[in-house]
Structure 1
């Protein structure tokens, strides 16, 4: 299998080490495992950006296609100063295993542009995004049947709209908008995509915590309701994870962000906290909150569930011994180093791995892609029919009992499922089914000690089958 280069970044080395560890527990041929682990394509580009003073800045960017066992490949585009080739390779690798794990028929990919988006105007960001897209088009590394990007750290629906528009101009066609997901609804995005990753995080944690036997081992009662939660990161993923944790009955006691962290053992109201941050630009100053200047320290406070939902390498061997949470759900990619994971597992913590837990985004992206190819919204064909059928059921019940069901109950029963309902239902089913597949692997492989290894083995098996069935590895 591929050797680990000492010059590779810590994050990428950890990803490769985890893969090698899990692969060694399988019975697949060495050459097949090599193909599964190494990236297929790595493309680095440099292009100029004209500044307002008429000078130029050279922008560095990457696109990595990790696995072509299924096409198209899929993965977000990250705008961050920390971006480098190894980080993009690591993230693309995780995407391959994420898609395989949750049965989304994509290979893995990832993109990165080495900029701090806060330092550029909207017009400059548009120029950068469109030029990046143009470079991908020139190399045939984007398209609805080739490579379908999505938002990631530092990007969102606006950037995806620019990508879709640029691609449509250069490669016009009936399926052109399927070249990217995470688009605005006005450009045929999908309802439920914005909150999908954070919602999926909570679906996954909730399902893991329903198993009484597993919770008893770590000293918790079953169920997420009533448990205390700390979230690191209050961006899209972190906010929605906190919001849906609260809706499930959990108590969100701590939030950490780049400007600092806050804690209150009695909990916060998450929507009100977001309102405060939008109005003031900071979490700081929220009434009743204990303020912590070094925000990473918030992760060490008392809680039942910790959700690191920011960047990689946030829990290391230095702070891992002080983590008190019993369940750690990786909302971000690679937030726990391998050394830290060993410490946490030795302390009896349950770690729900990133490429399972944050798969909600790619799951709903898949649905958006299908919507773009079929050119019809989910629920549009069936909603009215469902409403009429449900109305007849209510009328039959009322006729049989001689009693009305009440206006509120009538409305709830009669409404048909719209696009958001169907998306959320598919996401919930995906996260529940995938967790039990991982847990089954953990139970069946006597040498597997962690959910991460179990999830990797599950993914490796699925990718191996796809390669063998393709005839590449007969």
Structure 2
């Protein structure tokens, strides 16, 4: 991390660029971008071999204009206060853009989870949670964590169990964290949510004739040549939905290298090859690129950086050939790279809204936990029965039979995953349109990122004004 630009400063630069185009009071703008609370904790871990190790961890609540705060917890040796503050700030703006009523938060534990046993990871997670409880940094109406880099539903289940054991009278205790396994109060569709949201967002931009004419591409996602950096959860599902949507995945890059095939790659085959061999190298029918950073510079229509921050910067931005860049990762472009792409006419779809699928579906999970009712439970059978009656009437009136396969599709009542995907699609489409409206109505705005920040600033500023904090 030390050789990368300061992540939080990059977020501030982008914020200030957009804030300069508003008429809000300077003090209000300073409050919006300030981190409200930063918790840094250290606690001992007794390892399996009997040795003692001190664990460093963070939780940041960036904004309280809406509560609870919301943001993931990552396990990584790169975790530091600057990174967690930057990610928490992005969460504030992200939630505002997609109209999810949360303030931004983020957490991190400075460890490499691969170096610890499952029992050690459980002890770390539970101790971290207990510290958050004691400091009032977690709760259904206070601060709601979620999975992030290096964590999964397993860790979220440990967090939920620890919080519940310390708050036995809280009937909404499961809403203290999202991204949980389905059996522990999770919601169907959460695992693929961020990647699917990336697809929905890029697809909506590709459906706008004016934007596509600007970059010299035809409208629609079909047959677009896509390069994806990172085959983690977000990259894998983004790649999957792009391929299923008709795009051609010509390159997939990972830390050990990249593979290229102009005819297209199947992410599931690549995933299992890497799982079995430990590398994407030697994937059948592909060309191996030893330096994975070179994959970013391949000739393509759409580039999806879905790995680390600051991978595209002033040192390589000029060599990027993609017409559209969809920021699936947090902060993959530096402000200097942004300026280069504005000059080149490249459309950058910003992370602060494009990867909001995770927090959007986390919001749905939070609501499910508070309502104590599974989505679709109340209306699924009713809808199916009504649709079946409609089909029967059509057959009676026309004298023709609807094919059985079509009959099942028409009669189908929405399951939880159908409703979650539908809600996510609506969220991403609405957010895209709102950003585009701001972009096209402000001649001084030259990129989607600035337009997205303007949308976020306006919504957060109005929330503060409505609270009466700034009379």
Which bin holds the TM-score, normalised by the shorter protein? over 0.9
Q: 2:184 aligns with which of 180, 187, 194?
A: 187
Matches within 5 A, 1:111-260: 111-172=107-168, 173-260=170-257
Structure 2 spans left out of the alignment, 5+ residues? none
CA offsets 1:315-341 (integer angstroms, 9 cap, x no match):
111111111110000000000011111
Specify the SS of the correspondent of 2:91: helix
Compute the RMSD of aligned alpha carbons.
Answer: 1.1
Specify the SS of the correspondent of 1:446: coil
CA offsets 1:186-235 (integer angstroms, 9 cap, x no match):
10100000000000000000000101111111111111110010111100
Cα 1:8–1:290, aligned 2, differ >3 Å: closer, same or farther? Answer: closer
Residue 455 of structure 2 is matched in structure 1 by: 458
Alpha-carbon shift at residue 10 of structure 1 (Å): 1.5
- Does 2:92 match 1:102? no
Specify the SS of the correspondent of 1:78: strand
Tell me, in whole angstroms, the C-alpha distance in 1 between the residues paired with 2:296 and 2:334: 15
Residue 293 of structure 2 is matched in structure 1 by: 296
- Does 2:393 match 1:400? no
CA contact (8 A) 1:9 1:86 kept: no
Structure-1-length-normalised TM-score: 0.97
Specify the SS of the correspondent of 1:274: helix
Alpha-carbon shift at residue 473 of structure 1 (Å): 1.7
Alpha-carbon shift at residue 181 of structure 1 (Å): 0.2
Alpha-carbon shift at residue 8 of structure 1 (Å): 11
Residue 14 of structure 2 is matched in structure 1 by: 18
CA contact (8 A) 2:243 2:249 kept: yes
Specify the SS of the correspondent of 2:160: helix
Residue 342 of structure 1 is matched in structure 2 by: 339
Matches within 5 A, 1:82-97: 82-97=78-93
Alpha-carbon shift at residue 152 of structure 1 (Å): 0.5
Alpha-carbon shift at residue 24 of structure 1 (Å): 0.9
Tell me, in whole angstroms, the C-alpha distance in 1 between the residues paired with 2:105 and 2:455: 19
Alpha-carbon shift at residue 82 of structure 1 (Å): 0.6
Tell me, in whole angstroms, the C-alpha distance in 2 between the residues paired with 1:125 and 1:416: 41
Tell me, in whole angstroms, the C-alpha distance in 1 between the residues paired with 2:115 and 2:342: 40
Specify the SS of the correspondent of 1:331: coil
Between 1:176-185 and 1:268-277, the stretch displaced more is 268-277
Residue 325 of structure 2 is matched in structure 1 by: 328
Between 1:266-275 and 1:417-426, the stretch displaced more is 266-275
CA contact (8 A) 1:9 1:87 kept: no
Residue 388 of structure 1 is matched in structure 2 by: 385
Tell me, in whole angstroms, the C-alpha distance in 2 between the residues paired with 1:103 and 1:408: 38
Tell me, in whole angstroms, the C-alpha distance in 1 between the residues paired with 2:132 and 2:124: 12
Matches within 5 A, 1:278-317: 278-317=275-314
CA offsets 1:35-87 (integer angstroms, 9 cap, x no match):
10100000000111112332211111100000000000100001111110000
CA contact (8 A) 1:233 1:308 kept: yes
CA contact (8 A) 2:5 2:310 kept: no
Specify the SS of the correspondent of 1:47: strand
Structure 1 spans left out of the alignment, 5+ residues? 1-6
CA offsets 1:241-280 (integer angstroms, 9 cap, x no match):
0000001100001111112111111111222222222222
CA contact (8 A) 2:229 2:254 kept: yes
Residue 26 of structure 2 is matched in structure 1 by: 30
